[in-house]
Structure 1
Amino acid sequence: MTLQVADSYQIEIGSITQKHFDWLRGKEYAGWIVFADDNTVIDCLPLIEHYLPEGTPVVVAPEGELNKHLGTCQELWEAMFEAGVGRRWCAICLGGGVLEDMSGFVASTYKRGIDFLQIPTTLLSMVDSSVGGKLGIDFNHVKNSIGVFNDPVAVWIDPAFLKTLSAREVRSGYGEIVKHALIADREQWEAVKTITKLEEVDWSTIIPASVNIKREVVLEDPFEKGLRKSLNFGHTIGHAIESFWLETEDRLFHGEAVAAGMIMESWLSTQLDSLSGDDLEEITTYLLKIYGHQAVPESAFGQLLTLMRQDKKNEDSRINFTLLSAPGSARVNATAEPDMIVAALRWYNGLG
């Protein structure tokens, strides 16, 4: 399946074959370089390395959100210089959301930018981070606060890579699929909420539907001036609690934090928008069934509010949210006062 993203690039969903790399050779780059991480160099590179020209340099970045910072970028830039990478090269980014965000950013800034290709290897990166050209790194404990908008030359999504993931990583990526349905497609939400066993999902049908929702949003608003902000549903609170727990033993994966954020922001939607109590109960029950519950310490509320105030989505001193008017219908640029956000956190804690 091929999805066109404006005139700039295509997303291809299906098995990666020789024809994909023949297409890349046809672009006559001076060379290719592969970015992988500690996991994908072992689990995923063997699935494609026989298509690569002999001697293609492979640069391995440390895995995980904790390494998504300028220090790692410097190491990748230095490796590119050592490999002799020039302006007419192409970087192949083979990894999950962290690797793709960071290596795409590195490629986009190296010698004022070289082309890059994304091969997402996690469910999260397949349905979310590989679509839309948002690239960047974390800075000063704020997620994705340094970055650029820049499109890849192509995105190749092969569900076969999902076999390399743990059940928890699949569950994390699934959170973005739920989000896409809730903000933009009630019919898709009706289908998604019947899924209870992720190990039995036919990803070949679920992934294209979710990718297409994000694709349509990005096409209408490529630089996040309006509609694209709807993709932030669950992320204002979700990013804050993800950052808070990042360096603790109770660390949450991105999708787990966003799932908790969606529950709390759905509650805010009943207070500040028109989401019904029945819809709130349905959303909450479903997400708790898939993701469980991890209470947020009251002692952390102040720190979480500080993190939310630093969120890049804010346009002034107020904390910006995307709220649900109903499943499948989102309202962007909503704001909530700190006491209302604290009330949402306390309400969520009471669910456990």
Structure 2
Amino acid sequence: MELLGLAEVADVLRVSKQNVANWRARRQDFPPPVANLKSGPVWSTDAIVEWAAREGLEIDPPKASAASQQNETRATVVAMMNMKGGVGKSTLAANLGWYGAARLDHRVLLVDLDPQFNLSQYVLGVQRFEELLNSDEPTIDDLFRPMTGDKPPVHASELIQQVTNYDDGSCLHLIPARLELAFNVRLATERAHILRDSLEDVITNYDVIILDCSPTESILTWAAYYASDYIVVPVKPEFLSTIGLPLLIKSVDAFKAQHPADRYPDILGIIFNDSSDKVEHLKSKRFVRETAHEFNIPIFDNEISHSDSYPAGARKGQPIFWTNNARDLKKSELARAAREFYQKVGL
């Protein structure tokens, strides 16, 4: 039996992986996968071709089977992005990464693209991050530093911190950041593609790569656009936080207009983070839902509410589901949101 992975199905049907994921979730007649491998679901080529014929869709001939390319499956790259800070991007990215590796057996790489390096501190813990800063180990800022003759370019594989590895091959790894990133990117205005090109060296080593992006428009924003398949937008439902959504839409549209021949990421959805039933939060959610409907942007079914266990875990480099005294309700909430996230990216 010839098999196709999610990316190959998208190629055959001439659509994005998000289209395939949507059809899979919403169309009862869409062929079910014949198996769910660690690298993701796989489908019978014949079933996909027959379904496309019934739908009257033009297809591209299948290339190599997923079985023959299993070890070369490319990671899905997702950018956590909002043009407003303080919405919990780093906290969400860290906990989604931990959950994917520890609970779903995925190979996860987190990339800190924020000069404030909150993700790096969260995942490594305060002590290990300070040890990293006092060492000579390279971080993401070395990727964007000016090219000089005395220093050879660094590769993504040199930047990776192996946070944890499991016997079955699943893992959580991190490319950390530090403050120098803010200075190096000022001199890298023509090198936004460098992150995308560098990740090519390791992209088959992971199932998903999650980028934690800076909240301000910069070369790092465009670097994330170049590298990503999808954007997830964490929104803290307060007035000043929700204004970041229209700014993000404007930024993505500007990138598309200036790069019509390039691929660019789809907005996978909006996830409400640090949410509550306060009156102000409910008003802000209505505004976000109206904006999302206007631009045809999905909203996650599951929300993340406030919990003091998130910052408590950050100090120790632990996700909420390993944090002492974290309530089961909060752990279950994160689990539902994480499973929805990984389902949306096709894992």
Shared fold (TM-score greater than 0.5)?
Answer: no
* Greater per-residue helix proportion: 1
Which structure dedicates a bigger proportion of its chain to strand? 1
What TM-score do you get using the length of structure 2 for normalisation?
0.31
With a CA cutoff of 8 Å and minimum separation of 6, indicate the structure with the bigger relative contact order: 2
